Protein backbone atom coordinates (compact mmCIF):
# COMPACT_ATOMS: atom_id res chain seq x y z
CA UNK A 1 0.00 0.00 0.00
CA UNK A 2 1.18 3.49 -0.82
CA UNK A 3 2.33 5.58 2.11
CA UNK A 4 0.94 9.05 1.54
CA UNK A 5 2.11 12.59 2.12
CA UNK A 6 0.31 15.60 0.64
CA UNK A 7 2.78 17.74 -1.19
CA UNK A 8 3.05 21.31 0.07
CA UNK A 9 2.42 24.42 -2.00
CA UNK A 10 6.05 25.44 -1.54
CA UNK A 11 7.28 22.47 -3.57
CA UNK A 12 4.86 23.15 -6.40
CA UNK A 13 5.76 26.83 -6.38
CA UNK A 14 9.42 25.90 -6.58
CA UNK A 15 8.86 24.13 -9.90
CA UNK A 16 9.17 26.61 -12.79
CA UNK A 17 9.12 23.83 -15.34
CA UNK A 18 5.41 24.06 -16.20
CA UNK A 19 5.95 27.47 -17.77
CA UNK A 20 8.64 25.88 -19.87
CA UNK A 21 6.25 23.10 -20.84
CA UNK A 22 3.69 25.70 -21.85
CA UNK A 23 6.17 27.29 -24.21
CA UNK A 24 7.07 24.02 -25.90
CA UNK A 25 6.35 24.18 -29.62
CA UNK A 26 3.37 22.05 -30.39
CA UNK A 27 2.43 21.42 -26.77
CA UNK A 28 -1.24 22.26 -27.34
CA UNK A 29 -1.30 20.10 -30.46
CA UNK A 30 0.21 17.21 -28.51
CA UNK A 31 -2.43 17.50 -25.78
CA UNK A 32 -5.15 17.70 -28.42
CA UNK A 33 -3.81 14.51 -29.99
CA UNK A 34 -4.20 12.67 -26.67
CA UNK A 35 -7.85 13.74 -26.53
CA UNK A 36 -8.46 12.75 -30.15
CA UNK A 37 -6.72 9.44 -29.49
CA UNK A 38 -9.08 8.26 -26.73
CA UNK A 39 -10.57 5.36 -28.65
CA UNK A 40 -7.17 4.19 -29.87
CA UNK A 41 -5.68 4.30 -26.37
CA UNK A 42 -8.55 2.20 -25.03
CA UNK A 43 -8.13 -0.22 -27.94
CA UNK A 44 -4.40 -0.51 -27.15
CA UNK A 45 -5.19 -1.27 -23.52
CA UNK A 46 -7.53 -4.07 -24.57
CA UNK A 47 -5.16 -5.54 -27.16
CA UNK A 48 -2.17 -5.61 -24.80
CA UNK A 49 -4.14 -6.89 -21.81
CA UNK A 50 -5.32 -9.91 -23.81
CA UNK A 51 -1.74 -10.95 -24.63
CA UNK A 52 -0.82 -12.95 -21.51
CA UNK A 53 2.42 -11.96 -19.78
CA UNK A 54 2.70 -14.28 -16.77
CA UNK A 55 5.77 -14.18 -14.53
CA UNK A 56 8.95 -15.00 -16.52
CA UNK A 57 6.91 -15.48 -19.72
CA UNK A 58 6.54 -11.98 -21.14
CA UNK A 59 7.95 -12.84 -24.57
CA UNK A 60 4.73 -12.73 -26.60
CA UNK A 61 3.67 -9.38 -25.23
CA UNK A 62 7.21 -8.04 -25.59
CA UNK A 63 7.41 -9.01 -29.25
CA UNK A 64 4.07 -7.42 -29.98
CA UNK A 65 5.05 -4.27 -28.12
CA UNK A 66 8.31 -4.01 -30.03
CA UNK A 67 6.27 -4.06 -33.23
CA UNK A 68 4.06 -1.27 -31.91
CA UNK A 69 7.14 0.80 -31.02
CA UNK A 70 8.49 0.38 -34.55
CA UNK A 71 5.13 1.37 -36.02
CA UNK A 72 5.30 4.54 -33.93
CA UNK A 73 8.63 5.48 -35.48
CA UNK A 74 10.96 4.98 -32.53
CA UNK A 75 14.62 4.54 -33.36
CA UNK A 76 16.73 1.48 -32.62
CA UNK A 77 13.87 -0.63 -31.24
CA UNK A 78 15.40 -3.70 -29.60
CA UNK A 79 14.73 -6.52 -27.15
CA UNK A 80 17.61 -7.06 -24.75
CA UNK A 81 18.97 -10.24 -23.19
CA UNK A 82 16.30 -10.47 -20.46
CA UNK A 83 13.36 -9.34 -22.60
CA UNK A 84 13.17 -5.57 -22.01
CA UNK A 85 11.91 -3.69 -25.07
CA UNK A 86 13.62 -0.36 -25.78
CA UNK A 87 13.07 2.36 -28.36
CA UNK A 88 14.60 5.83 -28.65
CA UNK A 89 12.94 9.14 -29.49
CA UNK A 90 15.68 11.70 -30.18
CA UNK A 91 15.28 15.21 -28.78
CA UNK A 92 17.12 18.50 -28.78
CA UNK A 93 19.40 19.85 -31.50
CA UNK A 94 21.05 17.01 -33.34
CA UNK A 95 19.19 14.40 -31.33
CA UNK A 96 20.54 15.28 -27.90
CA UNK A 97 21.02 18.14 -25.49
CA UNK A 98 24.75 18.74 -25.79
CA UNK A 99 26.39 16.21 -23.52
CA UNK A 100 23.13 15.55 -21.69
CA UNK A 101 21.84 12.22 -20.46
CA UNK A 102 18.59 10.71 -21.64
CA UNK A 103 15.28 10.36 -19.85
CA UNK A 104 13.80 6.86 -19.49
CA UNK A 105 10.01 6.52 -19.53
CA UNK A 106 9.07 2.94 -18.66
CA UNK A 107 6.18 0.58 -17.95
CA UNK A 108 6.31 -3.12 -17.14
CA UNK A 109 5.19 -5.98 -19.38
CA UNK A 110 4.56 -8.64 -16.74
CA UNK A 111 1.51 -9.30 -14.58
CA UNK A 112 1.17 -11.29 -11.36
CA UNK A 113 -1.18 -13.83 -12.89
CA UNK A 114 0.14 -17.35 -13.61
CA UNK A 115 0.12 -19.02 -16.98
CA UNK A 116 -3.33 -20.26 -17.91
CA UNK A 117 -5.25 -17.47 -16.17
CA UNK A 118 -8.24 -16.61 -18.43
CA UNK A 119 -7.82 -13.02 -19.64
CA UNK A 120 -10.61 -11.42 -21.62
CA UNK A 121 -11.43 -7.73 -21.25
CA UNK A 122 -15.07 -6.91 -20.63
CA UNK A 123 -16.62 -3.46 -20.46
CA UNK A 124 -19.18 -2.44 -17.86
CA UNK A 125 -20.16 1.17 -18.45
CA UNK A 126 -17.04 3.29 -17.94
CA UNK A 127 -14.97 0.39 -16.62
CA UNK A 128 -12.77 -2.14 -18.34
CA UNK A 129 -12.25 -5.30 -16.30
CA UNK A 130 -9.53 -7.94 -16.70
CA UNK A 131 -6.54 -9.28 -14.77
CA UNK A 132 -3.56 -6.96 -15.18
CA UNK A 133 -5.41 -4.19 -16.98
CA UNK A 134 -4.34 -1.51 -14.52
CA UNK A 135 -1.08 -3.07 -13.38
CA UNK A 136 0.41 -2.35 -15.72
CA UNK A 137 -1.13 -2.61 -19.20
CA UNK A 138 -2.51 0.92 -19.02
CA UNK A 139 1.08 2.12 -18.53
CA UNK A 140 2.19 0.41 -21.74
CA UNK A 141 -0.70 2.00 -23.65
CA UNK A 142 0.13 5.40 -22.15
CA UNK A 143 3.68 5.27 -23.50
CA UNK A 144 2.33 4.64 -26.99
CA UNK A 145 -0.15 7.50 -26.66
CA UNK A 146 2.60 9.90 -25.60
CA UNK A 147 4.81 8.84 -28.51
CA UNK A 148 1.99 9.67 -30.94
CA UNK A 149 1.21 12.95 -29.20
CA UNK A 150 4.81 14.15 -29.23
CA UNK A 151 5.06 13.39 -32.93
CA UNK A 152 1.69 14.97 -33.75
CA UNK A 153 2.76 18.19 -32.03
CA UNK A 154 6.28 18.00 -33.50
CA UNK A 155 7.50 18.47 -29.93
CA UNK A 156 11.28 18.69 -29.64
CA UNK A 157 12.02 17.53 -26.10
CA UNK A 158 14.95 18.88 -24.15
CA UNK A 159 16.78 15.57 -24.42
CA UNK A 160 16.44 12.09 -25.83
CA UNK A 161 13.70 9.88 -24.39
CA UNK A 162 14.23 6.13 -24.12
CA UNK A 163 10.88 4.36 -23.94
CA UNK A 164 11.17 1.00 -22.19
CA UNK A 165 8.87 -1.93 -21.47
CA UNK A 166 10.48 -3.96 -18.70
CA UNK A 167 10.12 -7.58 -17.63
CA UNK A 168 10.09 -8.98 -14.12
CA UNK A 169 8.64 -6.12 -12.09
CA UNK A 170 6.15 -8.27 -10.20
CA UNK A 171 6.72 -10.76 -7.39
CA UNK A 172 9.64 -13.13 -7.80
CA UNK A 173 10.58 -11.33 -11.00
CA UNK A 174 12.45 -9.24 -8.44
CA UNK A 175 12.85 -6.21 -10.75
CA UNK A 176 15.09 -8.20 -13.06
CA UNK A 177 14.28 -6.05 -16.08
CA UNK A 178 15.11 -2.79 -14.32
CA UNK A 179 18.27 -4.32 -12.85
CA UNK A 180 19.44 -5.35 -16.30
CA UNK A 181 18.63 -1.94 -17.76
CA UNK A 182 20.86 -0.21 -15.22
CA UNK A 183 23.69 -2.74 -15.06
CA UNK A 184 24.03 -4.47 -18.44
CA UNK A 185 21.88 -2.80 -21.08
CA UNK A 186 23.76 -0.74 -23.67
CA UNK A 187 22.01 2.44 -22.50
CA UNK A 188 22.98 2.02 -18.85
CA UNK A 189 25.64 4.76 -18.73
CA UNK A 190 23.46 7.26 -20.61
CA UNK A 191 20.47 7.31 -18.23
CA UNK A 192 20.04 10.57 -16.32
CA UNK A 193 16.48 10.23 -15.01
CA UNK A 194 13.90 7.45 -14.81
CA UNK A 195 10.11 7.60 -14.79
CA UNK A 196 8.15 4.40 -14.26
CA UNK A 197 4.49 4.47 -15.29
CA UNK A 198 2.75 1.93 -13.08
CA UNK A 199 -0.96 2.07 -12.32
CA UNK A 200 -3.72 4.50 -13.19
CA UNK A 201 -3.76 7.21 -10.50
CA UNK A 202 -2.65 10.37 -12.29
CA UNK A 203 -1.67 12.39 -9.20
CA UNK A 204 0.40 9.71 -7.48
CA UNK A 205 4.16 10.22 -7.33
CA UNK A 206 6.32 7.48 -5.82
CA UNK A 207 9.57 9.08 -4.69
CA UNK A 208 10.54 6.41 -2.16
CA UNK A 209 11.43 2.80 -2.93
CA UNK A 210 10.31 0.22 -0.37
CA UNK A 211 13.03 -2.41 -0.23
CA UNK A 212 12.35 -6.05 0.55
CA UNK A 213 14.22 -9.20 1.51
CA UNK A 214 12.39 -12.49 1.11
CA UNK A 215 13.49 -15.91 2.32
CA UNK A 216 12.45 -19.49 1.93
CA UNK A 217 13.62 -21.28 5.08
CA UNK A 218 13.78 -25.08 5.05
CA UNK A 219 13.74 -26.73 8.48
CA UNK A 220 14.88 -30.37 8.47
CA UNK A 221 15.14 -33.21 10.97
CA UNK A 222 15.22 -37.01 11.21
CA UNK A 223 11.44 -37.44 11.14
CA UNK A 224 9.67 -40.52 12.46
CA UNK A 225 6.42 -42.07 13.62
CA UNK A 226 4.36 -39.66 15.69
CA UNK A 227 3.80 -42.33 18.35
CA UNK A 228 6.71 -44.72 17.99
CA UNK A 229 9.35 -42.00 17.67
CA UNK A 230 7.76 -39.61 20.10
CA UNK A 231 10.35 -37.43 21.80
CA UNK A 232 12.59 -36.92 18.78
CA UNK A 233 13.37 -33.36 17.66
CA UNK A 234 10.78 -31.85 15.35
CA UNK A 235 11.64 -29.23 12.67
CA UNK A 236 8.07 -27.94 12.97
CA UNK A 237 8.83 -26.85 16.52
CA UNK A 238 11.93 -24.97 15.36
CA UNK A 239 9.89 -23.26 12.67
CA UNK A 240 7.21 -22.31 15.19
CA UNK A 241 9.89 -21.00 17.54
CA UNK A 242 11.25 -18.82 14.77
CA UNK A 243 7.84 -17.31 14.08
CA UNK A 244 7.18 -16.75 17.76
CA UNK A 245 10.49 -14.93 18.17
CA UNK A 246 10.00 -12.87 15.00
CA UNK A 247 6.69 -11.54 16.21
CA UNK A 248 8.27 -10.09 19.35
CA UNK A 249 10.12 -7.51 17.22
CA UNK A 250 8.80 -3.97 17.31
CA UNK A 251 9.70 -2.17 14.09
CA UNK A 252 9.86 1.60 13.58
CA UNK A 253 6.81 3.36 12.19
CA UNK A 254 9.12 5.76 10.41
CA UNK A 255 10.82 4.65 8.29
CA UNK A 256 8.02 2.13 7.93
CA UNK A 257 9.43 -1.39 8.37
CA UNK A 258 7.39 -4.60 8.26
CA UNK A 259 7.69 -8.38 8.36
CA UNK A 260 5.46 -11.38 7.73
CA UNK A 261 5.64 -15.15 8.04
CA UNK A 262 3.55 -15.83 4.98
CA UNK A 263 3.47 -19.36 3.51
CA UNK A 264 4.07 -22.73 5.18
CA UNK A 265 4.39 -26.17 3.58
CA UNK A 266 5.80 -29.64 4.21
CA UNK A 267 5.24 -32.67 6.37
CA UNK A 268 4.34 -36.23 5.38
CA UNK A 269 1.25 -37.35 7.26
CA UNK A 270 -0.84 -36.50 10.28
CA UNK A 271 0.80 -39.42 12.09
CA UNK A 272 4.42 -38.58 11.25
CA UNK A 273 6.96 -36.22 12.72
CA UNK A 274 7.99 -34.25 9.61
CA UNK A 275 11.51 -34.52 8.25
CA UNK A 276 11.12 -31.25 6.33
CA UNK A 277 8.95 -28.16 6.52
CA UNK A 278 9.31 -24.78 4.78
CA UNK A 279 8.21 -21.25 5.49
CA UNK A 280 8.40 -18.04 3.48
CA UNK A 281 9.29 -14.78 5.19
CA UNK A 282 8.83 -11.27 3.81
CA UNK A 283 10.59 -8.18 5.21
CA UNK A 284 10.17 -4.63 3.89
CA UNK A 285 11.40 -1.17 4.72
CA UNK A 286 11.85 2.27 3.22
CA UNK A 287 15.29 2.23 4.85
CA UNK A 288 18.11 -0.03 3.68
CA UNK A 289 19.65 0.15 7.17
CA UNK A 290 16.44 -0.87 8.95
CA UNK A 291 15.90 -3.68 6.45
CA UNK A 292 19.41 -5.02 7.09
CA UNK A 293 18.84 -4.81 10.84
CA UNK A 294 15.57 -6.75 10.59
CA UNK A 295 17.17 -9.39 8.37
CA UNK A 296 19.99 -9.90 10.87
CA UNK A 297 17.45 -10.36 13.66
CA UNK A 298 15.55 -13.00 11.69
CA UNK A 299 18.74 -14.94 10.92
CA UNK A 300 19.70 -14.89 14.59
CA UNK A 301 16.23 -16.04 15.62
CA UNK A 302 16.33 -18.97 13.22
CA UNK A 303 19.57 -20.11 14.83
CA UNK A 304 18.16 -19.65 18.33
CA UNK A 305 15.00 -21.63 17.55
CA UNK A 306 16.98 -24.50 16.01
CA UNK A 307 19.34 -24.64 19.00
CA UNK A 308 16.42 -24.54 21.41
CA UNK A 309 14.70 -27.48 19.73
CA UNK A 310 17.89 -29.57 19.64
CA UNK A 311 18.33 -28.88 23.36
CA UNK A 312 14.72 -29.65 24.22
CA UNK A 313 14.30 -33.07 22.60
CA UNK A 314 16.13 -36.24 21.62
CA UNK A 315 18.74 -35.97 18.82
CA UNK A 316 19.79 -39.63 18.70
CA UNK A 317 18.50 -39.97 15.12
CA UNK A 318 19.85 -36.61 14.06
CA UNK A 319 19.48 -32.91 14.74
CA UNK A 320 17.16 -30.22 13.45
CA UNK A 321 18.79 -27.79 11.00
CA UNK A 322 17.66 -24.77 8.99
CA UNK A 323 18.63 -23.55 5.53
CA UNK A 324 17.56 -19.96 4.67
CA UNK A 325 17.52 -19.23 0.91
CA UNK A 326 17.14 -15.67 -0.33
CA UNK A 327 14.34 -15.60 -2.94
CA UNK A 328 13.71 -11.85 -3.22
CA UNK A 329 15.88 -8.77 -2.93
CA UNK A 330 14.43 -5.39 -3.83
CA UNK A 331 16.73 -2.51 -2.96
CA UNK A 332 15.44 0.43 -0.95
CA UNK A 333 16.03 3.98 -2.09
CA UNK A 334 14.71 7.51 -2.31
CA UNK A 335 14.66 10.50 -4.63
CA UNK A 336 14.90 13.60 -2.47
CA UNK A 337 12.03 16.07 -2.55
CA UNK A 338 14.14 19.00 -3.80
CA UNK A 339 15.45 16.98 -6.75
CA UNK A 340 14.64 18.81 -10.05
CA UNK A 341 12.91 15.70 -11.42
CA UNK A 342 10.47 15.59 -8.48
CA UNK A 343 9.78 19.31 -8.79
CA UNK A 344 9.19 19.02 -12.53
CA UNK A 345 6.83 16.06 -12.13
CA UNK A 346 4.92 17.64 -9.23
CA UNK A 347 4.64 20.94 -11.08
CA UNK A 348 3.18 19.31 -14.18
CA UNK A 349 0.64 17.36 -12.12
CA UNK A 350 -0.39 20.45 -10.12
CA UNK A 351 -0.77 22.50 -13.31
CA UNK A 352 -3.43 20.00 -14.43
CA UNK A 353 -5.49 20.68 -11.33
CA UNK A 354 -4.48 17.72 -9.20
CA UNK A 355 -2.86 17.85 -5.78
CA UNK A 356 0.23 15.66 -6.12
CA UNK A 357 0.48 12.89 -3.55
CA UNK A 358 3.98 11.66 -2.77
CA UNK A 359 4.87 8.43 -1.05
CA UNK A 360 6.78 5.17 -1.04
CA UNK A 361 6.06 1.91 -2.82
CA UNK A 362 7.91 -0.96 -4.48
CA UNK A 363 8.30 -0.42 -8.24
CA UNK A 364 10.93 -0.51 -10.97
CA UNK A 365 12.09 2.87 -9.63
CA UNK A 366 13.64 1.11 -6.62
CA UNK A 367 16.62 0.14 -8.76
CA UNK A 368 17.67 3.60 -9.99
CA UNK A 369 16.85 5.17 -6.61
CA UNK A 370 19.21 2.72 -4.93
CA UNK A 371 21.91 3.58 -7.48
CA UNK A 372 21.50 7.31 -6.94
CA UNK A 373 19.76 7.98 -10.26
CA UNK A 374 16.78 10.38 -9.88
CA UNK A 375 13.61 8.34 -10.34
CA UNK A 376 9.87 8.49 -9.68
CA UNK A 377 6.85 6.35 -10.47
CA UNK A 378 3.61 7.91 -11.70
CA UNK A 379 0.19 6.66 -12.82
CA UNK A 380 -1.67 7.28 -16.07
CA UNK A 381 -5.36 7.49 -16.83
CA UNK A 382 -8.46 8.04 -14.77
CA UNK A 383 -8.03 5.60 -11.91
CA UNK A 384 -8.97 2.01 -11.24
CA UNK A 385 -8.86 -0.64 -8.55
CA UNK A 386 -8.67 -4.26 -7.38
CA UNK A 387 -5.08 -4.62 -8.60
CA UNK A 388 -3.69 -8.19 -8.48
CA UNK A 389 -7.20 -9.65 -8.45
CA UNK A 390 -9.22 -11.38 -11.17
CA UNK A 391 -11.72 -8.50 -11.16
CA UNK A 392 -9.10 -5.78 -11.57
CA UNK A 393 -10.57 -2.76 -13.33
CA UNK A 394 -9.64 0.45 -15.12
CA UNK A 395 -11.85 3.53 -15.21
CA UNK A 396 -12.07 4.87 -18.76
CA UNK A 397 -14.68 7.62 -18.47
CA UNK A 398 -13.54 9.86 -21.31
CA UNK A 399 -13.05 13.19 -19.54
CA UNK A 400 -11.13 11.85 -16.54
CA UNK A 401 -9.17 9.34 -18.60
CA UNK A 402 -8.03 11.93 -21.15
CA UNK A 403 -7.13 14.41 -18.42
CA UNK A 404 -4.98 11.80 -16.69
CA UNK A 405 -3.26 10.88 -19.95
CA UNK A 406 -2.60 14.54 -20.78
CA UNK A 407 -1.12 15.01 -17.33
CA UNK A 408 1.30 12.16 -17.97
CA UNK A 409 2.29 13.74 -21.28
CA UNK A 410 3.02 17.02 -19.48
CA UNK A 411 5.11 15.12 -16.92
CA UNK A 412 7.22 13.58 -19.69
CA UNK A 413 7.81 16.91 -21.44
CA UNK A 414 8.62 18.64 -18.15
CA UNK A 415 11.02 15.91 -17.07
CA UNK A 416 12.75 15.94 -20.46
CA UNK A 417 13.35 19.67 -19.98
CA UNK A 418 15.39 19.06 -16.82
CA UNK A 419 19.06 19.42 -17.79
CA UNK A 420 21.15 16.41 -16.81
CA UNK A 421 24.83 15.95 -17.64
What pTM was computed for the model?
Answer: 0.88
Give the containing element (helix H, strand E) for 23. Answer: helix 17-23
pLDDT of residue 93: 67
pLDDT of residue 148: 98
pLDDT of residue 172: 87
Burial of 200-225, coded b for 16+ CB within 10 Å and e otherwise, reads bbbbbbbbbbbbbbbbbbbbbbbbbe
Give dist(CA 333, CA 366) in Å, integer.
6
Give dist(CA 390, CA 56) in Å, integer.
19
Q: Does the domain spanning 3-209+332-416 belong to CATH 3.40.50.300?
A: no
Do residues 227 and 271 lie in contact, with contact meaning Cβ atoms separated by under 8 Å? yes
pLDDT of residue 21: 45
Range(s) of the chain covered by CATH 3.30.70.360: 211-330
Give the containing element (helix H, strand E) for 282. Answer: strand 276-285
Handedness of CA 30, 393, 42, 161 (dihedral sign): positive
pLDDT of residue 25: 61
pLDDT of residue 366: 97
DSSP structural state of residue 90 = -
Range(s) of the chain covered by CATH 3.40.630.10: 3-209+332-416
pLDDT of residue 24: 53
pLDDT along the chain (421 residues), means of 10: 35 42 72 98 98 97 98 97 97 62 97 97 98 98 98 92 97 95 96 98 97 98 98 98 98 96 96 98 95 98 98 98 97 95 97 97 97 98 97 98 98 94 84
Domain covering 211-330 in this structure, CATH number: 3.30.70.360
Return the closest-CA partner of residue 181 out of 376, 368, 421, 387: 368
Give dist(CA 65, CA 254) in Å, integer.
40
Amino acid sequence: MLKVWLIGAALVAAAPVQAQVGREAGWNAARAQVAADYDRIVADVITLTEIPAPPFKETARGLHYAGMMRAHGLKDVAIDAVGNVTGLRPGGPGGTLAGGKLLVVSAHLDTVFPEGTPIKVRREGDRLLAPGIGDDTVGLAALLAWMRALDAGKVVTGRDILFVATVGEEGEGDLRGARHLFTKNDYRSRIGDFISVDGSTPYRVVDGGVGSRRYRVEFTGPGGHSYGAYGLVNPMAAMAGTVQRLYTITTPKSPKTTYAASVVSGGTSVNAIPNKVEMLFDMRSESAAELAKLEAQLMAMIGEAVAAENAARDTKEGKVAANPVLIGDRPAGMTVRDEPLVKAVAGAIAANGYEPVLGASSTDSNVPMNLGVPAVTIGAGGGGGRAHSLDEYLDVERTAFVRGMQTGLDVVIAAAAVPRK
